[in-house]
A and B are shown apart, each in its own frame.
Chain A
Amino acid sequence: MSLRTTPFHSRTAALSEGQAWRRWAGYVVASSYELSHDREYHAIRNSAALFDVSPLYKYLVTGRDAARLLDHVVTRNVGKAAIGQVLYTPWCDHDGKQIDDGTISVLGEQRYRMTSADPTLRWLHLNAGGLDVALEDVSERTAALSLQGPSAREIVQLAAQRDLSKLKYFRLTEAAIRGIPITISRTGYTGDLGYELWVDAEQALELWDALIDVGTPYGITPAGMLALDVARIEAGLLLIEVDYFSSRHALIESQKSSPLELGLGWTVAADKERYNGKAALDAERLRGPSWQFTGLTVDWNSLERLYADVGLPPRLPSQAWRTSVPVYEQGGRRQVGYATSGGWSPLLKRYMALAHLETSSAAPGTSVRMEITVEHRRKQATARVTPLPFFNPERKRA
């Protein structure tokens, strides 16, 4: 295969019923294992779904100035983070436009792991001038699994033979499963109770087998990207190259977004003296961002009517979509934004979308109109601005 396979491939390939694969950062990962992603989706909310997330880029940042470097690059305050903490953070160019988003794990004193969706090593080097810091790309060496869902804790506890009730949301701990050293972080991309397990690629398969063994009576279900895509929309989590463009890939200015425009204002530290994009972000915060990233709920009756007009029952996307769809003001003439991801939530029985809206049209409850193609014709369905996330179970943080 000319694309790379992950350290779990021999297991995941054996499970693939329909040979449905997707590319991710130069790797192939399962779109779904079963012929439909339905059960894999429900496992996220019902029991525990097991994702192979190895294609993430991973960097080890160590040394006396490690925190200084990271603080210079990302918008959150890394210096203030405690050992064992994980930060979700975006990072920006000097104009305050978002380059990427990922996590920073504080593994120990002067020891950090950064994950990203795009290669970031060069950017880190560019920013490390004069600093006492070592950068190592551990992407291939480190395999990662994400176990997400209400039974995730029971399974990981049983596998690691330890109590994890004290491991809080966005914290990590070192542990071992059947003698395999791993890092467990209480993180994920589903908005549910869940953990990510980081392991040396050499021992990846043993870890997979151990989890499947222990997890089977608890309903552990290997799941692919199609299921994940629905869950992450329910959770209101954005995806690079889908919901926003990296400012480094943008060809024109209007393709760029700032974290403030992406609903990530909470990740932009107010108390940091210097970081890439600070001046621009400070100014933008002062004048207020012109765009908001928010949820839309398509009004069912409105959708039903559009289809009834042509004699059909409402059709719903069977998978989450990721295309740009125009959103208009209530009157239906002036475009006020665009949705970038959407789909049917089987859990909430709601047609939801993630959208960029002009600030003036983005207040929760505002009625707008979203374009829907019905029988090859462009129509508009009423949609309501809904605060994100759509689904936020207590167990996520409890």
Chain B
Amino acid sequence: MTAAYLARAGKKVLVLERRPRVGGAAVTEEIFPGFKFSMFSYVVSLLRPEIIRDLDLARHGLHILPLESTITPMENGDYLAAWGDHDETRRELYRHSPRDAEAYDEYGRLMHFMAQAVKPILSMVPPDPTSLAPSDLAGLLRLGKHFRGLGAERLHALVKLMTMSSADFLDEWFETDVLKATKSASGIIGTFLGPRSPGTAYVLLHHYMGELDGVFRAWGFAKGGTGAVSESIAAAARSFGAEIRCDAAVAKVHVNGRATGVVLENGDEIAARVVVSSLDPRRTFLELLDPTQLPSDFVADIKRFKFRGSSGKVNLALDSLPSFTCMPGIGRQHRGAFSISPSVDYIERAYDDAKYGAFSRRPYMDIVFPSMIDPGMAPPGKHVMSVFVQYAPYHLNGGWSDAKREAFGDAVVNTLEEFAPGFKSKILHRQVLTPADIERITGLSEGNIFAGELALHQLFFLRPAPGWAKFATPVRNYYQCGSGTHPGGGIMGASGRLAALRILKDGL
């Protein structure tokens, strides 16, 4: 993303990628003949519409398709459904609780306001609250004004969102447990926290932010998988003149008073006026640089930056779609997500396992069937199934091994079999990815899908380290971008764009 924006501004840009294809965790691969998988990251949530327009990504092949519903199977055989249509969703909720059906609209309205309040922050370079530099002061002033403008009620709600657990926050609104469970699940994705851990409420907001951008759908699926997002950005970058070299792993960044270039693992040296790292902060600073080139307190901050990968992924090739007990048959439910989050206790218990170093015996899962949305993902009549699984701690007791990976995969399919009997017999091929695999393949430290936990103490002017949240680094002409920087992870593109704008502003 940074490369595309820099090239668009007329800079000569070279992109170096360790793997055979660009995208990092946003790649589509044909793991099993004829079946294509968004191997890691599988939905698009907050990709900025201005980026789609600026880079003309539709022309380069980007098409984001709506993911319209979420079905949560319950343990008693019932379900909770959220459909694309408001009336339908309200009627469904009414079945569970007339009171919640009414609260749902009010809740939606509040979250809409909150998202509106937080959204400008996403597109802004975070000001440093401890700095007296004019730009920081101006930024803080703007921010202060912005928050004062919210009014008391909304400011209070915002503070609650920032401090409470998602379970507690939702308790203030709803009585239906399965609703609270499904909503709070979105607050724990990619973190090593449970729905009852303070600070998780904030992430609830992310679901509402997409809607503000005129995307109309908070979540979407990229035609061709998430790799198509990466490929479209790469195509745009190339159209602006950027060069992209794959199978070219960077070993070190050369520093001589300032960054002067890189040396590749194969020994090639490439000189550059500016070096930008889109790796996570640990790799950007502690691997590509020699820590002695950095201030020691900064090194300490980066060392403290938490990764703690907590999620895994199971990709399945299916002979046919599974029928769920709660909503038998094959139908429109398969075009949306299935959330295995039957109760808050269920998710919290899944977290309990992880707290003490085990993977969840009955994990939280977010399931989609990409081939139902884009038929091109699988041979006609066959399907691919993407299962996001939490929790699978990076620091597993005794470490990850092949046997443990398969045991984890078994826990996933066995749990699913309970909700969709006969499901296991439809599996043609199974790929299980643990945080250790995610780290090995994508390079994301500890397999954290957001390149560093998306927790409040690591966001905004603290991401990745206090004082260094503005894409510059302590090394002159060495910049950082990517999910490990503000505003964080998800297929968003925001940090890359902001980093490029910063570099251009610095006159480099």
- Interface, chain A (partner B; CB < 8 A): 35-36, 38-39, 42, 45-47, 151, 217-219, 300, 313-314, 316, 318, 344, 346-351, 391
Contact = CB atoms under 8 A, between A and B. Distances in A.
B53 A347 contact: no
B50 A300 contact: yes
A314 B335 CA distance: 28
17 contacts: A38-B68, A39-B66, A39-B68, A42-B65, A42-B66, A151-B376, A218-B375, A218-B380, A300-B49, A313-B116, A318-B216, A344-B216, A346-B64, A347-B58, A348-B52, A348-B53, A351-B214
Interface centre among B53, B65, B85 (most CB of A within 10 A): B65
Given A349-B49, A350-B53, A46 B63 contact: yes
Nearest to B372: A219
A349 B58 contact: yes
A38 B84 CA distance: 10
B319 to A, nearest CB: 13
Contacts of A313: 116, 119, 212
B212 A38 contact: no
Contacts of A316: 214, 216
B54 to A, nearest CB: 10
B63 A45 contact: yes
A313 B215 CA distance: 12
Nearest to B115: A313
A36 B84 contact: yes
A348 B85 contact: no
A151 B380 CA distance: 11
A391 B50 CA distance: 17
Contacts of A349: 49, 52-53, 58, 214-215
A36 B84 CA distance: 8
Contacts of A350: 53
Contacts of B381: 217
Nearest to A351: B214
Contacts of A151: 375-376
Main secondary structure of the interface of B (DSSP, over half): mixed
A280 to B, nearest CB: 38
Interface string B184-217: 0000000000000000000000000000101111
A218 B215 CA distance: 26
A208 to B, nearest CB: 19
A42 B116 CA distance: 27
A217 to B, nearest CB: 4
A316 B65 CA distance: 18
B63 A300 contact: no
Contacts of B214: 314, 316, 344, 349, 351
A37 B325 CA distance: 29
Contact of A35 (B58, B88, B335): B88
Interface in B55-113: 58, 63-66, 68, 84-85, 87-88
A351 B50 CA distance: 12
Contacts of A38: 66, 68, 84, 216-217
B47 to A, nearest CB: 9
Contacts of A219: 374-375
Given A313-B119, A314-B214, 18 more contacts: A35-B84, A35-B88, A38-B84, A38-B216, A38-B217, A42-B63, A46-B374, A217-B380, A300-B49, A316-B214, A318-B216, A344-B214, A346-B215, A346-B216, A348-B53, A349-B53, A349-B215, A351-B214
Interface of B: 49-50, 52-53, 58, 63-66, 68, 84-85, 87-88, 116, 119, 212, 214-217, 223, 335, 373-376, 380-381
A313 to B, nearest CB: 5
B210 to A, nearest CB: 12
Top-10 shortest CB links A-B: A217-B380, A219-B375, A349-B49, A349-B52, A35-B85, A217-B381, A313-B212, A348-B58, A316-B214, A42-B65
Contact of B375 (A42, A217, A318, A344): A217
A48 to B, nearest CB: 9
A36 B212 contact: no
A185 B85 CA distance: 36
Contacts of A347: 58, 63
A99 to B, nearest CB: 35
A42 B64 CA distance: 9
Given A38-B84, A350-B53, A391 B375 contact: no
A313 B88 CA distance: 25
Contacts of B375: 47, 151, 217-219
Contacts of A47: 374-375
A290 B347 CA distance: 67
Nearest to A299: B53
**Of A314, A347, A391, most B-chain CB atoms within 10 Å:** A347
B368 to A, nearest CB: 15
Nearest to B85: A35
Nearest to A42: B65
Nearest to A303: B214
A39 B64 CA distance: 11
Contacts of B49: 300, 349
Contacts of B85: 35-36
Contacts of A218: 375, 380
A218 B63 CA distance: 17
Contacts of A36: 84-85
B88 A46 contact: no
A347 B119 CA distance: 22
Contacts of A344: 214, 216
A31 B119 CA distance: 35
Nearest to A347: B58
Nearest to B374: A46
B53 to A, nearest CB: 6
B86 to A, nearest CB: 9
Contacts of A46: 63, 65, 223, 373-374
B326 to A, nearest CB: 21
Contacts of B116: 313
A233 to B, nearest CB: 14
A344 B58 CA distance: 14
A300 B223 contact: no
B508 to A, nearest CB: 26
Contacts of A45: 63
A174 B327 CA distance: 44
Nearest to A297: B53
A248 to B, nearest CB: 38
A318 B216 CA distance: 9
Contacts of B217: 38
Nearest to B62: A347
Contacts of B223: 46
A243 B216 CA distance: 27
Contacts of B58: 347-349, 391
Nearest to A393: B59
A348 B335 CA distance: 22
Nearest to B212: A313
Nearest to B47: A349
A38 B83 CA distance: 13
A113 B284 CA distance: 67
Nearest to B382: A217
Nearest to A47: B375
A11 to B, nearest CB: 18
A270 to B, nearest CB: 32
Contacts of A391: 58
Nearest to B119: A313
A35 B91 CA distance: 15
Max count, chain A CB within 10 A of own CB: residue among B52, B214, B223: B214
A351 to B, nearest CB: 8
A298 to B, nearest CB: 11
B98 to A, nearest CB: 22
A346 B381 CA distance: 27
A350 B58 CA distance: 10
A322 B302 CA distance: 56
Given A349-B215, A391-B58, A300 B53 contact: yes
Nearest to A390: B58
A274 to B, nearest CB: 42
Contacts of A35: 84-85, 87-88
